[in-house]
Structure 1
Amino acid sequence: MKTLTIRLTSPLQSYGNEASFARRTSGDYPSKSVVVGMVAAALGYRRDDQRISKLNELSFAVRVDQRGKNLTDFQTVEWKKNTRKITYRNYLQDAVFMVGIGHENDAMIDKIKQALKNPKFQLFLGRRSNVPAGILDLKSFSNTNPIMALEGLKWQASPWYQEKKWWQTKQEFVEHIEIIADANLLPQKRSTLAKDQVESFDQRNRRHGFRPIAIEEVRLKNPYVERTQAAINPQEPNTHHDPMQFL
């Protein structure tokens, strides 16, 4: 299996779940349907394209590297003539996620990687206004499933967040980083159901089904420790500049 990892970050992200017109909440991490939708957009598939259902075959896992803070926005809409209503929209602020998608067909992963570098349609993280913060950081791994790829990647949280965690814990390793994945990728873990299996993106008949998921926690080294040691050791090359670290 070949795996592609994608770093997802933006000032605001929102991953819809069960919601009403008046309140649109957000999940705590990107769902598989969100990533399938993003890949479909990159490939140039329209909402009613039958090829979208094949993307459900991708193996999927997401690692929560930096939990976002909740933000609630409200909007006043005129939903009938002379009738106004306040609606609420939830977002995640400053979150960072590492997504892994895999497939037995290496060519399919290569095609998706190329499409994400040169997308046909706009990419966004949950809502159209939530565009990625710059060019997507993509890495591919041969003979590796999404769990193996995410377990081996360095912690991808923002540098300020890494520093904050160090001063809070004074620990070299960061504990309890969650990976949420297709249940078959974590057979030793207890599974539950998530309603994010794409059945249709058609706006006239949008539907999602259930799929089994499982969760594991990993322990990752904090890169801030290595950067700090390099800065105070003249024998090692230092490319990191932090004028406040000696105060």
Structure 2
Amino acid sequence: MKTLTIRLTAPLQSYGNEATFERRTTGDYPSKSAVIGMIAAAFGLSREDPQVTQLNDLSFAVRIDQRGSILNDFQTVEWKKGKPRKLSYRNYLQDAVFMVAIGSDDKTIDKIEFALKHPRYQLFLGRRANVPAGILKMQSFANEDPVSVLQKLDWQASEWYMKKNRREAQIRVELIADASLLPEVVDNRCEMVKDQVISFSQDNRQHGFRKVAIKQLKLLNPLFQADTEHDPISIL
């Protein structure tokens, strides 16, 4: 198996879960369906193209390197002329950084990496307005699965965030992966998430459930600064 890591960061990101027109919340991390949608856009696939659902076969894991904070956006929408405006709330993740890892055979991963570097359609992180903060930073690893790669990969948070946590030598982060990639995780750390792509069709968008496992990791902080011993009374 070959693995490709993708660093996802932007001023705003939003990864849909169960939502209504009036309130659209966001998940805490990129869903597999959102990443599949981004890859499909890079390939230039239509929403109804059968190749989209084939991307469900990719092995998938994500590491939350910088959790970010929630932004609540209030909107009024004039949905029909002469009708009362509708009220709507949208949630976004601010200043978050995620490390996504996808795994497959060498040929498939190479094609995906090339497509993400030369996308046919605009790439976005969950919603159309949420474009990546610059060129995607990617790295490929031969003969390794997504979990093994993310477990050893250096912490990829923003520099300002590392400095903010400079008193911590190790940072605890969360790894969420296909349950099959974390067989050692006990059942009470597994859950079902609804991000298996069935259809991206705007008329009949559907998602199925897949089982994921969750694991806590400790990563070294490269900007760690130990507290210096200082006794202010000693100068008196």
Equivalent runs, 1:110-189 vs 2, <5 Å: 110-166=110-166, 170-175=167-172, 177-189=173-185
Tell me the distance in 2 between the aligned counterparts of 1:215 and 1:174: 16
Tell me the distance in 1 between the aligned counterparts of 2:191 and 2:87: 34
* Percent of aligned pairs with the same amino acid: 62
Tell me the distance in 1 between the aligned counterparts of 2:163 and 2:204: 46
In structure 1, stretches of 5+ residues that fail to align are 230-247
Tell me the distance in 2 between the aligned counterparts of 1:72 and 1:219: 30
Amino acid at match of 2:170: F
Equivalent runs, 1:33-182 vs 2, <5 Å: 33-80=33-80, 81-103=82-104, 105-166=105-166, 170-175=167-172, 177-182=173-178
Counterpart of 2:232?
none
Pair 1:213 & 2:201 matched: no
Counterpart of 1:201?
200
Tell me the distance in 1 between the aligned counterparts of 2:77 and 2:150: 42
Q: Matched residue of 1:83: which SS?
A: coil
Pair 1:13 & 2:13 matched: yes
TM normalised by structure 1 equals: 0.88
Q: Matched residue of 2:183: which SS?
A: coil
Tell me the distance in 1 between the aligned counterparts of 2:151 and 2:191: 21
Counterpart of 1:240?
none
Amino acid at match of 1:155: W
1:88-117 superposed Cα distances (whole Å, 9 cap, x missing partner) = 0000000000000001x2100000000000
Number of residues of Structure 1 aligned to a counterpart in Structure 2: 222
Structure 1 residues 109-118 or 182-191, which shifts more?
Answer: 182-191
In structure 2, stretches of 5+ residues that fail to align are 227-236
Tell me the distance in 2 between the aligned counterparts of 1:195 and 1:216: 19
TM normalised by structure 2 equals: 0.92
- Displacement after TM superposition at 1:48 (Å): 0.6
Tell me the distance in 2 between the aligned counterparts of 1:29 and 1:51: 24
Q: Matched residue of 1:79: which SS?
A: coil
Tell me the distance in 2 between the aligned counterparts of 1:68 and 1:173: 18
**Moved beyond 2 Å, runs of 4+:** 79-82
1:36-70 superposed Cα distances (whole Å, 9 cap, x missing partner) = 00011101111110100110000000000000100
Amino acid at match of 2:63: R
